[in-house]
Structure 1
């Protein structure tokens, strides 16, 4: 295939696919050649084609010239192999230099200080998992989904991913039970901020926008907050455009679906590190996403509760001493 046709079929460049093959080949290569076992490169391409289309596995079997059951085993095998790379490619910054670089990159967007990540949730459509608990996966838009939480950096890369909660779960509940929150509660990231929407409870390390603005400084804070946090919305768009199975819906068993979400996030980060081109039209959505966030309050706004807590104090000091 030409480079362009290959990218259209598999959503990654040839060089990136060969790099990935080196990373997982030992895990997917068969130790025998009985029954014409499928080569590692063909296993990887079949799996990538599935991520790129979300098509029925019968169609994929025809595409690859193999049986449907073989395709099913390949998708599981390759997906799990990619997931083993998660600690290498989806991780929070560890050194002071890494933290400082992320803060500088976020500062370059809208001059919001000390930001180390933007956090939000997105729904990935799934088939009904069946059983007595199936309805907890039905979200407020009335389709079955997993509510996936992600924290991203200013380069559209995932720093943290949680892909195990049913679609009916509130964003704030996912955050409260996440390793991400635990790491900030332990003060692993002193003098650093996460930015989230009003679906999250404000903390001294997690800043949310004001629901109403009365002064110029408050308006400046909100605009800088939203222009910076929109990075996470754009990341979701790029991710789902690169791997359309996430937008069309994943029709596999629940455990494999969770692994597919993680695997595609890893591939997204690998593509970002390889400076691959963004899927078409992504840059056009930046301003549109910002305006949508600026003009709309989230449906699930968290009750702000005690106005004297540390989060409100930190936000007020930031507005009065910096954004003024």
Structure 2
């Protein structure tokens, strides 16, 4: 009897405890439902119909918004179509996938301006994550296609390129002008230190070579801003090809030109350096002609940042930042090739950032053949000046 009463009391206690837990659970569920019922889902009103407004833009307004002409836009559109960009994307319901028109509009506005993705999302009636994803996809795709548009002169074109360079300041044999440019960047800790350059801001390096028309013949991008231009160049594929003489051009006749931050090589001409603060008159002439010819690369950097203002200040990961800048270089070449030019560069040279790490290259072992070649070019300028004094035609 005592055993039965004990079991009965345990059962009653268990039922009371279970009932109490169920009541608490029901009460919590009621609170959650009440909160959901009284709370509105957050919505973000956006503009509608902007793609229709674009068709009403004048040619000038179209260029101001997208930084390319309508003709160049159509060329880019056909290129994406012919190369099956996002052709694998299928529609499974929800928001309709973007058309190539919309993708190209978004990316050109993103690269051509410093506006945030939030503004683009509002303008094109898309989410910020969608804008972020599509700009990443586009820049990665173009980065992998850079060899289609950024090409070093072939042997067949060397003479033509050298003649066009020579028309600038009468400096012979030039096939490309080389320099480095810094892209302001915002790395996150603890990886900030390598990107802090000599001028105390964070950046990564854009090493490039340019042709007479200011298009890029070579691009090497991504080294931290603290690294000197000569070190960046020595780690590039162009340096390896020129150093091993892989048949790019005959170094006896042709050469790349650069400033004093780079080494003197038989295939690269750089300015004479002052000795005890002095420089003979003939070497001053050489340096002036080389500098005037080499100016094309700094103008190319100015044109790049003037057209595609995203390059003035990149706020992304280093991987995407490199893809963004190389994509802008590709688009700049496409514009030049199609006659869609935008000269003028940056009004503020401080934004160009070509001369950040300005130390001259310290020669180790002197390349005798390179020195002889530079002296011969220098002497040829002096000989032409002498001919000119006697009234002969140069």
TM over 0.5: yes
Deviation at 1:29, TM superposition (A): 4.2
Q: 2:68 aligns with which of 12, 26, 30?
A: 12
Q: Which has the higher contact order (CA 8 A, sep 6+)?
A: 1
Q: 2:321 aligns with which of 245, 251, 257?
A: 257
Question: What is the TM-score of this pair, normalised by structure 1?
Answer: 0.90
CA separation of 1:165/1:283 partners in 2, compared to 1, >3 Å: closer, same or farther?
A: closer
CA separation of 1:30/1:3 partners in 2, compared to 1, >3 Å: closer, same or farther?
A: farther
What is residue 153 of structure 1 aligned with on the other side? 211
What is residue 297 of structure 2 aligned with on the other side? 232
Describe how 1:151-190 pairs up with structure 2 within 5 A.
151-187=209-245, 188=247, 189-190=249-250
Q: 2:146 aligns with which of 86, 103, 107?
A: 86
- How far apart, in 2, do the equivalents of 1:205 and 1:322 lie? 19
Count of residues in Structure 1 that have an aligned counterpart in Structure 2: 313
1:57 aligns with 2:117: yes
- Deviation string 1:141-168 (CA, Å, 9 cap, x unpaired) is 1111111100111110101100120111
Higher mean Cα deviation, 102-111 or 23-32? Answer: 23-32
What is residue 209 of structure 1 aligned with on the other side? 271
Structure 1 gaps of 5+ residues are none
CA separation of 1:205/1:164 partners in 2, compared to 1, >3 Å: closer, same or farther?
A: same
Deviation at 1:170, TM superposition (A): 0.5
In our comparison, the structure showing a higher alpha carbon Rg is 2
Q: 1:97 aligns with which of 148, 153, 156?
A: 156
Q: 2:165 aligns with which of 106, 119, 141?
A: 106
Deviation at 1:284, TM superposition (A): 8.9
Structure 2 gaps of 5+ residues are 1-56, 384-394
- SS of the aligned residue for 1:199 comes to coil
Higher mean Cα deviation, 302-311 or 135-144? Answer: 302-311
Q: CA RMSD in A?
A: 2.3
